[in-house]
A and B are shown apart, each in its own frame.
Chain A
Amino acid sequence: MTNRIDRRSLLRLSGAGAIAAGSGGLAGILASGRAPAYAQTTSIHWVRWSDFVPSSDKLLREKILPEGEKALGMKIVLETINANDIQARVTAAIQAGVGPDIIMALNNWPQLYATSLADVSDITEEIGNAQGGYYDMAKNVGIYQGRWIGVPWAIGGGLVVYRKSWLADIGYEKFPVTWDQWHDAGKKWKASGHPIGQTLGHTFGDAPGFWYPYLWSWGGKEVEADGKTVALNSKETLESVKFAVPFWNDCCDPGGLAWDDSSNNRAFLAGTIAATNNGASIYLEAKKKPQTYLTDKGMPMKDDISHAPLGTGAGGHFALPGPFIHMLMGYSKNQKAAKDFLRWVNSKPVFGQWFTSQQGYTDGATKIWEKDPVWNLDPVMEPFKHLPSAGRLAGYAGPPSQKAAEVQTKYIIVDMYAKAVQGMKPEDSVKWAHNELVKVYS
């Protein structure tokens, strides 16, 4: 968008052109063939979630974006909103054909809006090539019919956060690996008044974040690789459900049936649970306020916290990390400026500042960030480095399609376990979930 140039801007333009083109005034500008950057009035509207690491949002607002405005000669308006509200915002913008130029998506959302997004293959390939290539999961979510529909930004995800002293109290030197060990440890923890805290409610992050990898670890899967043939009702899935019922009753906080994504944070920091699957936000909060969050012995809780991967079953061990991807909206009238901005903000020096501010809360979307010194700063955060390589996406063994998103949104996999825990026969809950999946994938 270009405004009319008034007398004052013309004078400024003239002077700037002189410097930019290395010759005099307007002649210089004309010779350079382009207007100097800061005379343009292009404005980019960028929508992101309100970060779980607030200092990263602060860094963007106070340092990175002012630098970007200077370097690119455009105005960049950053708007941060609740993660739960992003989809409503995207839907309204696409249907109306106006709205933010760039919107950050979580999980497999870009696949839902693929036909309404701009092709950003050129800049994405450029960034990927310069930064060691993208993880497969970033590619799976970001590529639609051979073209990139978003620029992967980072990958977030959960690990088990636990209290070291309470692990030692029940006689474990290392965090349990197999599900049988989990059951044994959980029973002891619950008996001592500190159960495992895990949500089985309708909440977008922590519920699928635990129960999808749990299913995969037993060898269960939603669909075959063709993305059509529903394969949920299997011996492996049934075993996972049969195990989940006593595991829940013996080891977990029953309140988890109604927990949202923040409930386990509160419970852990209040010292009512011994372990929970979560992002690094619990530890980072305890680290930020060492005098507020204390152990029962009065020591800072942060020193009693560590992270471990989810349990391992016959099928292996997995995680469900969530890629963050910036979608350049197809309706945007600022395509070039938005691409210039995305290229700039994803460049190593700029993204690196933001990445450091996350302190390991997220991984990079490209492999180069595995070697970043941020991982050496705090050994408690180091396990997060390996998340993307153990990650699978909802819809496995099929692609993270719109159908997979529908299954996730309807919480069918989560509810399969919730129903069994609430008393439905495991065989019936698996059959129910299988039939629901068949309806979705038909």
Chain B
Amino acid sequence: MTFTTVAAPRAYVGSPRRGPLTRLLEDERWLAMLLLLPTVALLGLFIAYPFVKGVMLSVTDARVGVPGHFVGLQNFVNVWNDGIFRVAVWNTCAYTFVATVFKLALGLWLAVLLNRHFRGKAITRAFILLPFIIPTVLSTLAWKWMFDPTFSVINWGLFRLGVIHGRINWLGDPNLALISVIIVNIWRGLPFYAITLLAGLQTISPELHEAAAIDGARAWQRFRHVTWPLLLPVTLVVTLFSVIQTFADFQLVYVLTGGGPANATQLFATYAYQIGIGTGLLSQGATISLAVFPVLLLVVIFQLFYIRKAEVH
């Protein structure tokens, strides 16, 4: 008699009992939350906390080393009645608007040029980035020398060429001073526009241009009806970043003019620094900084709305 040993089928044993944490993480909502946690912590620490701290400071009469008391919106009233603040508001708006328009126009032009094939393309692209790479303070110091009323190389050049007969007081004349700081800002911000828009341009398929050319579209028409609509989302994002950065610009003006002469180049950030650090009035400094917030919020909402709209199209 032969016995065949047949192993009794083993009872099904499930995987080891899952702990509550595992079960929790199998729920996608909880997992997503956990994965987001580091980002939320970083944003909270470096963005939300300073922002909330700034808001709290702005509703007190805090000075350096003195916590202060709650004063409601008194600081905002004071700031609104401050003539220098109003000058700073006007300067900041003019500075941002003019600089952004020029940076966008020139950046786009440069990007289109750099998108063509020519000898030395790589090295030219690398050089274009230089103003953006050099630390702002250093490059601004060089500009300061170039604008120096006595030793200006620009004046010297124009004089030698016979264009001018006297000295141009670049940073001493109130109007010229604002124009000068805007020029430096454009010079510094241009590469950011050019390179980012160039990257955008390179995502546009050449076939679209070829098709348009076959259909008889000229260069301008190809740009207007093919390139521009496809580049618009990138352009809006670049402009958004640039407006925010330009609106909150500090180092450039601080080094070039310190906000002078007679506040002709005073911006939000330089004035906030002057009041918050120079005078120790932290609450008023925070108030001036926060005054930028509603304007920037509107800009962000407006542009994000258009980006979405452009993407839908």
Binding site for B on A (CB under 8 A): 87-88, 90-91, 94-95, 112-113, 115-116, 200-203, 253-260, 263, 266-267, 270, 272, 330, 402, 405-406, 409-411, 415, 418-419, 422, 432, 435-436, 439
Contact = CB atoms under 8 A, between A and B. Distances in A.
29 contacts: A87-B278, A90-B64, A91-B277, A112-B279, A113-B64, A200-B261, A202-B258, A255-B169, A255-B172, A257-B171, A257-B172, A257-B260, A258-B149, A258-B169, A258-B171, A266-B150, A267-B150, A270-B150, A402-B63, A405-B278, A406-B275, A409-B278, A409-B279, A410-B84, A411-B260, A415-B260, A418-B260, A432-B83, A436-B84
Contacts of A258: 147, 149, 169-172, 177, 257, 260-261
B81 A405 contact: no
A250 to B, nearest CB: 16
B280 interface: yes
B164 to A, nearest CB: 14
Contacts of B279: 112, 402, 405-406, 409-410
B29 to A, nearest CB: 39
B65 A115 contact: yes
Contacts, number: 119
A402 to B, nearest CB: 7
Main secondary structure of the interface of A (DSSP, over half): helix
B110 interface: no
A202 B260 CA distance: 5
B216 to A, nearest CB: 55
Contacts of A202: 257-261, 263
Most buried by B among A87, A88, A202, A411: A202
Interface centre among A88, A200, A402, A410, by most B CB within 10 Å? A410
A272 B150 contact: yes
B174 interface: yes
A439 B81 contact: yes
Nearest to A442: B78
A253 B167 CA distance: 11
A116 B65 CA distance: 6
Contacts of B169: 254-255, 257-258
A87 B277 CA distance: 6
In order of increasing CB-CB distance, the 5 nearest A-B pairs are A255-B149, A116-B65, A257-B172, A258-B171, A202-B260
Contact of A436 (B83, B167, B282): B83
B249 interface: no
Given A112-B279, A402-B63, A409-B274, 6 more contacts: A202-B260, A202-B261, A402-B280, A411-B263, A435-B83, A436-B84
B79 to A, nearest CB: 10
Contacts of B276: 91
B151 interface: yes
Contacts of B173: 257
A260 B257 CA distance: 8
A91 B171 contact: no
B189 to A, nearest CB: 23
Contacts of A95: 64-65, 282
Contact of B167 (A201, A255, A402): A255
B177 A415 contact: no
Nearest to A200: B261
Interface of B is mostly: loop
A377 to B, nearest CB: 32
B82 to A, nearest CB: 7
B66 interface: yes
A419 B150 contact: no
A260 B262 CA distance: 13
A91 B279 CA distance: 10
B61 to A, nearest CB: 12
Contact of B151 (A94, A112, A266): A266
A203 B258 contact: yes
A212 B169 CA distance: 25
A415 B87 CA distance: 13
Contacts of A116: 64-65
Contacts of A88: 277
Nearest to A264: B150
A109 B163 CA distance: 47
B150 A253 contact: yes
B149 A405 contact: no
Contacts of B262: 411, 415, 418-419, 422
A255 B64 contact: no
Nearest to A95: B64
Nearest to B266: A202
B99 interface: no
Contacts of B63: 112, 402
Contacts of A266: 150-151
B166 to A, nearest CB: 9
Interface string B73-93: 000001001111000000000
A163 B114 CA distance: 55
Interface string B245-261: 00000000000011111
A346 to B, nearest CB: 25
A409 B64 contact: no
A113 B65 contact: yes
B59 interface: no
A176 to B, nearest CB: 23
Contacts of B260: 201-203, 257-258, 411, 415, 418
Interface string B270-286: 00001111111110000
Contacts of B277: 87-88, 91
B123 to A, nearest CB: 36
Contacts of A257: 169, 171-173, 260-261
A344 B18 CA distance: 70
B280 A113 contact: yes
Contacts of A411: 260, 262-263
B137 to A, nearest CB: 11
Contacts of A254: 149, 167, 169, 172
Contacts of A270: 150-151
A422 B176 CA distance: 12
Contacts of B281: 406
A95 B54 CA distance: 13
Given A88-B277, A255-B148, A94 B261 contact: no
A91 B280 contact: yes
Interface string B158-196: 000000000101111110010000000000000000000
B65 A415 contact: no
Contacts of B258: 201-203, 260
A116 B63 CA distance: 11
Nearest to A258: B171
Contacts of B65: 94-95, 113, 115-116, 330
